[in-house]
Amino acid sequence: MHKKIILLVVALQIFCTNIFSQCSICTKTASQLGEGPAQGLNAAIVYLMITPLAIMLIVGYRWWQKEKMINN
């Protein structure tokens, strides 16, 4: 069950190409650079966002498992 959820989250990250993750300053800078560099900047921001979220997911999942074992 948990593997299916993780697989779904990973699949959504891979196949969601129209994610806009730029702040207002980055958007203004990217618009001045042109379409290609703007898409590259946006992809880099999404790529850098994945690592902290994955770490939080792993820590949270392990904490949940530990709490589940203590309560049983």
Which pLDDT tens digit goes with each residue over 14-61?
776 665 656 777 777 777 888 888 788 878 887 888 889 899 999 999
Cα separation of 29 and 3, whole Å? 39
**The pLDDT of residue 62:** 93
Would you state the structure tokens that stand for residue 35, as one six-digit string? 């379409």
- Is residue 61 in a domain? yes
The alpha carbons of the chain give a radius of gyration, in whole angstroms, of: 17
pTM: predicted TM-score of the whole model, two decimal places: 0.51
- Is residue 55 in a domain? yes
Domain containing residue 45: 22-71
pLDDT average, residue stretch 6-13? 80
Is the CA virtual torsion 64, 66, 68, 71 positive or negative? negative
Structural domain count of the chain: 1
- Is residue 14 in a domain? no
Confidence band, pLDDT 50/70/90 cuts, at residue 72? confident
**The pLDDT of residue 21:** 58
- Is residue 6 in a domain? no
Higher pLDDT, 5 or 62: 62
- Is residue 39 in a domain? yes
